[in-house]
Amino acid sequence: MNSPAAVRILPDWDAPFPESLGHAWIHGETRAFGGDPIVSVNPATGDVLGGFDDGGAEAVEAAVTAARSAFLGDWGRIGTADRAALLLGWAARIAEEVEQLAWLETLEVGRPIADAKALISQGPLLIGHYAGMIPALADRADGAVRRPRGVVGAITPWNFPTANVLIRAAPILAAGNTLVLKPSELSPRSAVLLAQLASEAGLPPGVFNVVPGAGHTTGAALAAHPGVDMIAFTGSTRTGQAIIQASASRSLKPLMMECGGKSPQLVLPDMIDQAEIWPGVFAAAFWNTGQWCAARTRLLVPKGGLDAAVEGLLAAASDWPIGDPRDPATRLGPLASRNQYDVVQRFREIARRTGRVVPLSEVPGGLSADGFYVAPELVLDTAQDGALVQQEIFGPVLTVQEYDDQDEAIRLAEDGPYGLGATVWGADRDAAERIAAGLSVGSLDVIVTPAARPGLALGTPFEPRKQSGFGIEGGLAGLAAFTAPQAITYVG
């Protein structure tokens, strides 16, 4: 069947959201579900933006049914070259609609518009990356045939609304599965638009379904649904634990979990006096106002390096203006929600009680007093076993600690519940190898020249460790994770 064209949004900040983005997208069309709508608030102003459906179990049922029939129908039978071509068509439509997607992210979660556009513009590359690897899935060198898993449920967070959906949707669809996506209740509309664009690009109805709603209703129903063959989750560790339990309540299904983080960045002695590192250290901690699961929010510097760190980060902060996210000059927008603001304020109070706080900049006057703005800050003299070092804050707070020697640096960096990422600033490759071997983290950036910055490392697989989750992401292994190997033995 034909899908309606994706809605066009006027480039006007005050334009209302298009009606269809407030409903589910199932079987290639808009489906409205009753009940109390969820109300969205603009984090930059506190203004109500509009409501959207909490589809609950009814929407999940309809979406899983649509996804199953697409899997057994058109999508399941399509050739791999055609599948890749359709995905590339979808990527091309996303490239054309970067402005609209960024507009939605800025309004819904306060992503600075320039940054939102820059990141969303990379989305088509991610889809191309997985589409390009589809032929490699057919390799039977080990005797196994890689089958798609079937109907995959994805539950995603709000911090990078488009990117988080694409990181899941691209490999899930490229591997030949169909998808039921439950986006965050803070950012449902860009997810619905992404699915509409997929339909426009010719993906058959039911291949990519979106069920907006709350976590404990719609999300929980999706996790528990026995007709879902696999769940991919990105979000907090606590919610991840609830999803693991729900997913096993009525059936058995494999899971892919990318959860919280509290990632360290270690400056080695050979770089502590290099002024060029500090803009990078700042960005690694404070990008997206610290709302980033792999944010490097624990800084470890060699003994005597504290002053250099404070001075360098104060200077770096002047390049990161806090402002209204609709302003293209803004690099640090508000926190995404009242809830997140309250969480961060609680940690800031702990910091003031238990450590030494160094504000790096101030929230400028003239911004809405009802916006959820918080300025970046450092916390010094803080205990290794305290909440500020051990717990994920998801806000602009960076702890700074000194270490005596490499062994202590490794011990401090490794001492915590999470294992997502780490950064080493240092040219000493032997030291970096030793540190890497000593850290249970999924990915490690080693910055060997002071002004260098990490880029997208799409082709390299990694797996989160400890309470940061499990399941391989990225590269061919990350694509293959959404398939199941089937051994066929011809005997006789």
Residues that bind ligand ADP (CB under 6 A): 155-157, 182, 184-185, 215-216, 219-220, 223, 235-236, 239, 242-243, 246
Nearer to ligand ADP among residue 257 and residue 412 (C-beta): 257
Contact 490, 478 (CB under 8 A): no
**Is 377 known to be catalytic?**
no
* For ligand ADP, the closer CB: 243 or 480: 243
On whether the CB atoms of residues 349 and 129 are closer than 8 A, the answer is: no
Nearest-5° Cα angle at 438, 288 to 411: 80
Place of tokens 């294992």: 419
CB burial class (10 A; 0-12, 13-18, 19+) of residue 23?
buried
Which position among 97, 185, 258, 473 bears the catalytic label? 258
- Tokens in use for 438? 């000593």
In terms of CB distance, is 220 or 271 closer to ligand ADP?
A: 220
Question: What is the spatial distance between Cα 85 and Cα 102, in angstroms, rounded to a whole number?
Answer: 25
The gap between the terminal CA atoms of the chain, to the nearest Å, is 46
- Is 293 one of the annotated active-site residues of the chain? yes
Dist. CA 281–CA 310, nearest whole Å: 11
Q: Which residue lies nearer to ligand ADP by CB, 182 or 189?
A: 182
Among candidate residues 293, 402, 463, 473, the one labeled active-site is 293
Distance from the Cα of residue 176 to its chain's centroid: 22
Gyration radius (Cα) of the chain, Å: 23
Q: State the minimum distance, in angstroms, from the CB of residue 184 to ligand ADP.
A: 4
The two three-digit tokens of residue 119, written as one number: 């990141």
Q: Smallest distance, Å, CB 246 to ligand ADP?
A: 6
**Rounded to an integer, what distance in angstroms lies between the CA atom of residue 348 and that of residue 335?**
14
Pairing type for strands 144-148 and 483-487 reads antiparallel
Q: Shortest CA distance to 64 belongs to which of 156, 182, 165?
A: 182
Closer CB to ligand ADP, residue 239 or residue 468? 239
Residue of closest CB approach to ligand ADP: 215
Q: CA–CA separation, 481 vs 247, rounded Å?
A: 18
Rounded CA separation 93/87 (Å): 10
Nearer to ligand ADP, 242 or 387 (CB): 242
Residue (of 58, 93, 66) closest to 1 by Cα position: 66
* CA separation for the pair 321, 332 (Å, rounded): 6
* Cβ nearer to ligand ADP, comparing 157 with 323: 157
Report, as residue numbers or ranges, the catalytic residues.
Answer: 258, 293
